[in-house]
Amino acid sequence: MKIKPLFLFLFFCLTISSVLAQTSNSPKNVIIFLIDDLRPMLSSYGNSWIQTPHIDALAKKSVQFNRAYCNVPVCGASRASILTGIRPTQNRFLSFNSRIDKDVPDAVVTIPQLLKQYGYKTISNGKVSHHSADRELDWDEVWNPEMVTSFRDYADPKNKQNDKNSMPVPAFESPIVNDTIYFDGKTAQKTIRDIEVQNQLSNPFFIVAGFRKPHLPFNAPKKYWDLYDPSTVPFPSNDTFPVSAPEVASKWYELPFYDGIQKGKSPSLDMKRKLIHGYAACVSYIDQQVGEVIATLEKLGLRDDTVVILMSDHGFSLSEHNRWSKHSLFEIELQIPLLINIPEAMGGKRTNSFAELVDIFPTLCDVLEIPKPSHLQGISLMNALKNPSTIHKKYAFSRYKRGETLITERYSYSEWKNQTGKTTGRMLYDHQNDPGETINLSQNSEYSQLIDSLSKRILSIASLSKTIQL
């Protein structure tokens, strides 16, 4: 009888060890928050005005990439690039209307398609691909509330009716409504239900929650507008277009589709204040949706078995360079927030190692221990996740239409070429001395050698991007 307690203790230890071994070897779940038009205007990125407590909490458990960039600053093209791991070119992934099924061969494997092959339940909720039908069969389920109403998603009855009748509609609204009145509240609740259902099943899950806000129009429930005092709305100091920057970089067209905005004219000071206020309200609204999904993971005991990634498809200008848009090659429109939380990496870390959205696919493969497809054109961020204090990657490459940009640790260089290959415009900014990109140095002769070097690197990357290895 004396040895019975010892026997029970040893049996208990062996049982716990067995359970832990099974848990550590079991496939990880994946949740991706893909947020439209979200720039790094977050508390964790040093913005003291914005209120994002749930994303801040996620950042404390994640590796935050301070220098993460999109590969093309327009939604459809960027999302197609993310899902395929392939860079945009002059002939591929060009616009908001881009489709994977039209721009790349059928043999190219997408993220959901690959994970389905490895037993994952794959679910697309909300705005993930720009077209819900684009490679729809790669997913087990594609759900999008937009299928029954306008993408502008107004709650105010007058705005809804005017939108339906193609009448002028405002660029923002702030009704007293519940979160689930808007698409993104519905997307969050759908994602929560999916997690609850999948928790009862044996297969791991891969769910992308595609949130529309803070995309125009800046519609959010009034309680999120009330988080901010309009008198404290900050205005950017770099609100004029840089001298000698090419005209092609100045054009913005999205905002003038809304009432009270004139094409080619900067909004009034009061309108600017309301627009920036509305953007912030939308960010806080999305922050709440992210928090509710993560709370579900924690409640169900899935937090330590789930990879969580939060990112945007591109940035957005809020009067910087006198622009209200993406669709250009300024830093503010290319830089994105990127938080990656994996169970085996220490959280609460920040890295200045570069990341591009084309790197997400190979990173997931490494995290999930799945062989990488041969066509991938990004590199895994796994080294940065495990050792964030070291610089593992020193550049990012982006393009939009006929313009291409290389961002290095200090400089951002952009060039535009016509159909014959002649350079028609350049921008060079020194981020060390001019982080707001206000002085275009490309016409300064003392930088000619640097420009030549950066231009050659752009040509090399662009050339390598054209070929897809299958």
Pairing of strands 338-341, 63-65: antiparallel
Q: Please name every residue paired with 379 in a beta bridge, in sequence order, or none if there are none.
A: none
In contact, 264 and 253? CB cutoff 8 Å:
no
Cβ count near 343 (within 10 Å): 16
Helix axes 269-299, 183-198, angle to 10 degrees: 10
pLDDT value of position 243: 86
CA-CA-CA-CA dihedral for 17, 369, 349, 62, to nearest 10 = -80
| Distance, C-alpha 377 to centroid of its chain | 18
Catalytic residue at 75?
Answer: yes
Buried b (16+ CB within 10 A) or exposed e, 9-22: eeeeeeeeeeeeee
In contact, 50 and 287? CB cutoff 8 Å:
no
CA dist., res. 181 & res. 189, Å (int): 11
Catalytic residue at 131?
Answer: no
CA dist., res. 128 & res. 242, Å (int): 34
Q: What is the tens place of the pLDDT at every residue in 374-397?
A: 999 999 999 999 999 999 999 999
In contact, 180 and 189? CB cutoff 8 Å:
yes
Cβ count near 126 (within 10 Å): 25
**In this structure, is residue 22 part of a structural domain?**
no
pLDDT value of position 442: 96
**In this structure, is residue 431 part of a structural domain?**
no
Give the domain range for residue 220.
27-390
- Kindly give the parts of the chain with pLDDT less than 50: 1-24
Which residue's entry shows tokens 């801040």? 56
Q: What is the tens place of the pLDDT at every residue in 11-40?
A: 444 444 333 333 446 899 999 999 999 999
3-state SS, one letter per residue, for 184-196: HHHHHHHHHHHHH
Q: What is the tens place of the pLDDT at every residue in 170-187?
A: 999 999 999 999 999 999
What are the backbone dihedrals phi and psi of residue 4, each rounded to the nearest 5 degrees, phi first? -60, -45
pLDDT value of position 263: 82
CA dist., res. 429 & res. 345, Å (int): 34
**In this structure, is residue 60 part of a structural domain?**
yes
pLDDT value of position 145: 86
**In this structure, is residue 76 part of a structural domain?**
yes
CA dist., res. 229 & res. 238, Å (int): 22
3-state SS, one letter per residue, for the chain: CCCHHHHHHHHHHHHHHHHHHHHHHCCCEEEEEEECCCCCCCHHHCCCCCCCHHHHHHHCCCEEECCEECCCCCHHHHHHHHHHCCCCECCECCCCCCCHHHHCCCCCCCHHHHHHHCCCEEEEEECCCCCCCCCHHHCCEEECHHHHCCCCCCCCHHHHHHHHCCCCCCCEECCCCCHHHCHHHHHHHHHHHHHHHHCCCCCCEEEEEEECCCCCCEECCHHHHCCCCHHHCCCCCCCCCCECCCHHHCCCCCHHHCCCCCCCCCCCHHHHHHHHHHHHHHHHHHHHHHHHHHHHHHHCCCHHHEEEEEEECCCCCCCHHHCCCCCCCCHHHHEECEEEECCCCCCCEEECCCEEHHHHHHHHHHHHCCCCCCCCCCCCCHHHHHCCCCCCCCEEEEEECCEEEEEECCEEEEEEECCCCCEEEEEEEECCCCCCCCECCCCCHHHHHHHHHHHHHHHHHHHHHCCCCC
In contact, 349 and 60? CB cutoff 8 Å:
no
Sign of CA dihedral 256, 323, 454, 72: negative
pLDDT value of position 14: 41
CA dist., res. 131 & res. 430, Å (int): 38
**In this structure, is residue 449 part of a structural domain?**
no
**In this structure, is residue 398 part of a structural domain?**
no
pLDDT value of position 19: 38
**In this structure, is residue 405 part of a structural domain?**
no
**In this structure, is residue 340 part of a structural domain?**
yes
CA dist., res. 21 & res. 29, Å (int): 17
Helix axes 360-368, 75-84, angle to 10 degrees: 30
The residue type at 24: S
- List 13, 54, 70, 130, catalytic entry: 130
The total number of structural domains in the chain stands at 1
CATH code, domain with 351 = 3.40.720.10
Closest by CA position to 275, among listed 185, 173, 177, 154: 173
- List 54, 70, 75, 392, catalytic entry: 75
